[in-house]
Amino acid sequence: MSKISRFTSKAVTLAKNVVGDRGEVAAPEGGGGFADYALLSLHCLRIHLDESYRNALDLLSEMPHICGEIGLWCHETALVNH
């Protein structure tokens, strides 16, 4: 497991503890926004990478394992358009 993967795994666990693990899907089909723990995990990862949100999302599009760790299995165009 890579350093970034370990960090993400810990961030997701901590984020779920902070916001409460309500069994939410990270990115529900049909929209409606991301689960709170997914947003918090993405924010932690952005800070860890020392990147802007835009750059962090671009990097995530190249890291399917990390997206899977957070629970985000979205089409690559969803990351590009935001």
pLDDT top residue among 48 and 34: 48
Q: What is the pTM of this model?
A: 0.69
**pLDDT for 82 beyond 60:** no
Residues 54-69 have pLDDT tens digits of 898 888 887 887 878 8
**pLDDT for 44 beyond 80:** yes
User: For residue 46, what are the CA distances in angstroms to 9, 16, 51, 52, 61?
Assistant: 14, 17, 6, 7, 13
Q: Which domain holds residue 50?
A: 3-80
Among 2-11, 30-39, 55-64, the least confident range:
30-39
Q: How many separate domains does the chain show?
A: 1
